[in-house]
Structure 1
Amino acid sequence: MGSFFSTLLNPGPAAAGEEEGSAVVAVHSKESWNEHWTAHKNTNKLLVIDFSATWCGPCRFIEPTFKALAAKFTEASFVKIDVDELSEVSQQWRVQAMPTFVLVKGGKEVARIVGAKESELQGKVAQFIA
């Protein structure tokens, strides 16, 4: 279990749940989300959560930008959650539209971007990375 948490805090190229060729961690179960959240909530490391859906056109549009940000800002963690797959987690974060990006530091939401707003997402990640 310890290696799981160290992988979450310092993801390498073979992080569990990592999307192919990406630093984005795809979370597919409530248990996996709970473990990821537990590992992050008491740190000052930026966590960027992408709430999306496979059927969502704007979600597919902004996905390359999200992956590029994850590759550029390796000191942050980038997580993707499918709202249909993990509706309970989506409801917990009050997600009402896709895509919704929630930026979290120290267990608290610091920013939220609703919609496929590339420049706003890039700006907020850069702002809160420090």
Structure 2
Amino acid sequence: MGNCIAKSSTKDSDSDHLVEFAAGNVKLITTKESWDQNLEEARRDGKIVIANFSATWCGPCKMIAPFFCELSEKYPSIMFLVIDVDELTDFSTSWDIKATPTFFFLRDGKQIDKLVGANKPELQKKIIAIVDSMAPCQ
């Protein structure tokens, strides 16, 4: 399995220590405003959102981050977001996060599925099911 390298070299306000979580097409969410903007963009574009609530100290989060990144490049029709539960504590609490990583699958801002834990096969299975459900009928 290859590693994801951040393609962007732009300087922005996102924390450097999170770059491994937000490579490929994964967007790092550091503010509630950024969350709202990305959800609005996804709604406008008809995209499903997968929100990964993670923590930098969490071993399983670090283990699945490169895989999440690879999936983001493989499935450009889905918006992949990562939220650091320690940076956005109140926001994460509002989603009732009990363990990291927790993945929420959202359509039009509403939860359609959820996965708790760094379970690569299950994450991929859920993404494939979503992609298949989005495909136009033949």
Which SS does the other structure have where 1:80 is aligned?
strand
Which SS does the other structure have where 1:97 is aligned?
coil
Aligned counterparts of 1:44 and 1:93: Cα–Cα separation in 2? 22
- Assess, with a 3 A threshold, how the Cα gap between structure 1 residues 79 and 21 changes in structure 2: closer, same or farther: closer
**Match in the other structure for 2:49:** 47
Q: Which has the larger radius of gyration?
A: 2
TM-score (norm 1): 0.80
The amino acid across from 1:62 in the alignment is I
Which of 11, 23, 26 aligns to 2:25? It is 23
Q: CA deviation at 1:42?
A: 5.9
- Assess, with a 3 A threshold, how the Cα gap between structure 1 residues 33 and 68 changes in structure 2: closer, same or farther: same
Aligned counterparts of 1:122 and 1:90: Cα–Cα separation in 2? 23
Give structure 2 stretches of 5+ with no counterpart: 1-6
**Match in the other structure for 1:116:** 118
8 Å Cα contact 2:105-2:111 kept in structure 1 = yes
1:50-101 Cα shifts (integer Å, max 9, x gaps): 0000000000000111001000000110000000001122122211100000
Aligned counterparts of 1:29 and 1:46: Cα–Cα separation in 2? 20
Q: What RMSD, in angstroms, separates the aligned Cα atoms of the two structures?
A: 2.1
Q: CA deviation at 1:31?
A: 1.6
Please state if 1:73 is matched with 2:75.
yes
Aligned counterparts of 2:23 and 2:111: Cα–Cα separation in 1? 28
The size of the alignment, in residue pairs, is 117
Q: CA deviation at 1:43?
A: 5.5
**Match in the other structure for 1:84:** 86
8 Å Cα contact 1:28-1:86 kept in structure 2 = yes
Give structure 1 stretches of 5+ with no counterpart: 1-12
